[in-house]
Amino acid sequence: MSNYIYAFHGGKIPESPEEGAKLMARWETWMAGLGGALANPGAPLGLSKTVSAGAVTDDGGSNPLSGYTIVKADSMNDALEKTKGCPHLEHGTIEVAEEMQI
């Protein structure tokens, strides 16, 4: 079993505290459904900066991260299956990558 990183891109900030509470409840339900596969619930992320050898820019790149979660899965297909029902998919995308052991 390996760890897989779910890198969330896009999304939106809830428009009211009530909307935020409903969204958080959906996240909690999805994460509870992952059971023991949830290795790290992660967190939402703020605005980022992009660092290169010659500069630091404020743009966050072409597709900035908005959050992350780490799950345990038997395979990439299993990790992809576990994204089903994730509330983030209603407003953004999820990049899935296996954590490599070196």
d(CA 14, CA 87) in angstroms, rounded, equals 12
Q: How many residues does the chain have?
A: 102
CATH of the domain at 42: 3.30.70.1060
C-alpha dihedral (66, 92, 61, 46), degrees to nearest 10: -20
Q: Can you tell me whether residue 24 is helix, strand or coil?
A: helix
What does the pLDDT look like over 27-45, one tens digit per residue? 999 999 999 999 999 999 9
Query: Which range is least confidently modeled, 52-56, 67-71, 78-82?
Result: 52-56
What domain count does the chain have? 1
Domain that residue 13 falls in: 2-98
Largest separation between any pair of C-alpha atoms in the chain: 45
Distance of CA 28 to the CA centre of its chain: 14
9 — pLDDT class (breaks 50, 70, 90): very high
pTM, rounded to two decimals: 0.89
